[in-house]
Amino acid sequence: MQKYDEVAKELGLSFNDPTLLKQAFVHRSYLNEHHNFTLDHNERLEFLGDAVLELIVTDFLYKNYPNPEGEMTNWRASLVNSQSLAETGRALNLEKYLLLSKGESKDNNPKARNYILANTVESIIGAIYLDSGYEAAAKFVSEHILVKLPNILENKLYLDAKTHFQELAQEKYGITPNYKLLSEEGPDHNKIFQIGVFLNDEMIAEGKGSSKQEAQMTAAQAAIKAKGWS
C-alpha cells in the first residue's frame, strides 16, 4: 500500500480507507493474471465516479453561469469526455500506478490507454466520494478538471472540430468548408477512410479515420492547426 500512500500525497488527498484509492487503479485485466489479489477491479468505482463528476460539474455550471441548457451541456461534455479526463490522468502521472495485465501494459494503442486513464480518473473521484464525501470530491474536480473551463470557453473548445473550423472559416473568409473522400482501404469490417477538407478548391488538410465522420473530424482538427487558428 505504500505506493498508493505516495499517490494520495501527490494528489493532495488523505484517505481513511487507502484500499479504495488502490482499487481505483485496478484494471479488470490485472485480475486475470492475479487470481489471489484481494481487491476488485475499478469498474464499480468508475460507475459511481462518472455520476459524481457529472453532478459536480453540472452543479458548478448551474450556479456560476446563466447560459442556456444547451450551451452548458456542451461545456460539460468538453470537461468530462474521455480525452479531457485522460489528459488529466497524464498530468497527474497516474499511468505509472495502473495495475494492468502484461498484455495491457504493452499495448501502446493511444485510444485504449486514454480510455483506461479516463476511467481511472472517474474511479478516483468515486473513491474520494465514498471515503470523504461530496465536498472532498468537488475539491478534487475543481482543482483538476473545472480549472480547464476558462481555456475551453476562450478557445471554443466545446465545439467539435468540424463546427469550430466552419465557424472560423466563415468568420475569416466567408466560406463554408467542404469535405471530399480521397481514398478508402481495407476490408469492409476494418476500413480506413482518408478525407480532405477544402475551402473552395484549395485543400487545407486531410485526415484518416475508421469512419468517414472520424476522418472528417481529424481533417478539421488538422485544418485548424494548418491555418494557425488553434
**Active-site residue list:** 50, 122
Antiparallel, parallel or unpaired: β 192-199 and 202-209 = antiparallel
In angstroms and rounded to an integer, the radius of gyration of the C-alpha atoms of the chain is 21
Neighbours of 110 (CB within 10 A): 9
CB contact set of 114 (below 8 Å; sequence gap of 6+): 82, 83, 86
Alpha helices in 12-109, H assignment, sequence order: 18-23, 28-33, 43-64, 69-80, 82-91, 102-106
Determine the Cα–Cα distance for residues 87 and 14; give it in Å rounded to an integer.
Answer: 23
Q: Cell triple for residue 38?
A: 484481494
CB contact set of 9 (below 8 Å; sequence gap of 6+): none
Question: What phi and psi, each to the nearest 5 degrees, are found at residue 24?
Answer: -60, -20
